[in-house]
Amino acid sequence: MSGSGDTRRFRKAEDMNERYLIFNADDFGASAGINRGIIECHQKGVLTSTSLMVTGRALDEAVRLSRENPKLAIGLHWDVWGEDEREFSTSNIEASRDEFFRQLDAFRRAMGREPTHIDSHRHAHREPHLFDHFRKWVAPLKVPLRGAGEVRFVGGFYAQWEWKVTELKYVSVEFLQQMIRNEVPQGFTEFSCHPGYVQADYPSVYNSEREAEVRTLIDPRVRETIEHEQIRLISYADYARLRESA
């Protein structure tokens, strides 16, 4: 079963009272293993959206896969650090701005369109000194910025609540079911995730945990819980269409 969004016709005003859930995978394009995990979770599980790293070593493959999976919404995952291989000071606002627009232009060239949403690697854009600037830079695009309020952000589905300390219970089926029941209020909610497969030439502090996420996101019990809770599973592209029709 495809992880693409809810295909029912939106009913304008009354739809705004429903509960909508977007599963968005970060790091698309970072490696072939991550690309593989994201596509598997979209095709077999509940993943509806992802965020593209135009700095990633597997960017070209990610772009090709996106064209083969047109229901997967694609946003921009702004990245200035990678996996600790680059130094970049986000305190330099001018440099941050230039890098944002450089990556936005790279996204447009690669994808041939605008991103459906904006977020960043390691939540760099949410640093207090930078967040208001990002609001201003993203506003003309009229797409959601993670943490800005258009879509409620929930990041608890993650196996390292403490840096480099892995607790797989936080990416288990049972924990995700609990999140679905308790953390999806009326309106729009995003659950972020980081599925993927370990790749020897892609070192990361969050690596084998990604494979545990894949197993959970494709487990049929997760979709069953969403349906039981009468939550509508949508993508960021669906979100844009719904907002336009309201």
Q: d(Cα 233, Cα 226) in Å, to the nearest integer?
A: 8
What is the average pLDDT across 12-40?
89
Per residue, what are the HEC states of 40-62?
HHHHHCCCCEEEECCCCCCHHHH
Q: d(Cα 131, Cα 195) in Å, to the nearest integer?
A: 26
Do 47 and 23 meet the contact criterion of CB atoms below 8 Å apart? yes
| Structure-model confidence comparison of residues 89 and 192, the more confident one | 192
Task: Provide the pLDDT confidence category of residue 203 given band limits of 50, 70 and 90.
Answer: confident
Report pLDDT digits (tens) over 72-96: 999 999 999 776 566 889 999 999 9
Domain boundaries, the chain: 12-245
Residue with tokens 């991103």: 115
Which of 3.20.20.370, 3.40.140.10, 3.20.20.70, 3.30.200.20 is the CATH number of 12-245?
Answer: 3.20.20.370
